[in-house]
């Protein structure tokens, strides 16, 4: 570093600075070679900082791209694996729904059959009256009930 001073004739002159520069740490009276060396060191350090930043930016970018690619590949593998499973689950779900519908129909038929059975019992009582003649009605009723129970078990066995 040099200082500018006015000479007695009014011209500006430059002379070496007598105090140490806080940036370079060069002591007064050091030669120019040391100043150049210090400037080169600072320039090199600054350049290395910039290069380090550039390298870190490149590494971050490459890692981000690699992670994105890896996520896409994992997603593709999972989708490839899940599609057949999803199809099977859908098929099973449809079968379960179909069986539920069949059970509802059978339950409805069984309720209707029980209603028909009750109507037939009432008719039998009305026809045969109450008393000693109830024994044939009782046998008839139990026979019909056994037949309904047997039919219901057959239907349930076909479903299973």
User: pTM value?
Assistant: 0.36
* Residue showing tokens 């057959």: 154
| Helix/strand/coil for 20 | coil
Distances (CA, A) of 52 to 38, 45, 55, 58, 90: 21, 10, 5, 10, 55
Q: How far apart are the first and last CA of the chain?
A: 100
Conformational region of residue 25, where left means phi above 0, alpha means psi within -120 to 50, and beta covers everything else: left
Position 58 scores a pLDDT of 95
At 32-83, the pLDDT tens digits run 899 999 999 999 999 999 999 999 999 999 999 999 999 999 998 888 888 8
């Amino acid at each position: 570093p040099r200082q500018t001073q006015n000479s007695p004739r009014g011209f500006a002159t430059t002379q070496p600075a007598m105090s140490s520069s806080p940036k370079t740490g060069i002591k007064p009276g050091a030669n120019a070679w040391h100043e150049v060396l210090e400037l080169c060191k600072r320039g090199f350090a600054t350049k290395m900082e910039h290069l380090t930043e550039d390298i870190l930016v490149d590494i971050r970018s490459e890692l981000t791209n690699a992670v994105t690619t890896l996520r896409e590949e994992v997603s593709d593998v999972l989708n490839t694996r899940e599609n057949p499973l999803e199809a099977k689950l859908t098929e099973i779900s449809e079968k379960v729904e179909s069986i539920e519908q069949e059970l509802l129909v059978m339950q409805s038929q069984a309720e209707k059959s029980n209603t028909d059975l009750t109507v037939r019992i009432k008719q039998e009582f009305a026809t045969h009256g109450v008393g000693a003649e109830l024994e044939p009605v009782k046998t008839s009723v139990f026979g019909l009930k056994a037949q309904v129970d047997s039919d219901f078990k057959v239907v349930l066995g076909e479903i299973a």
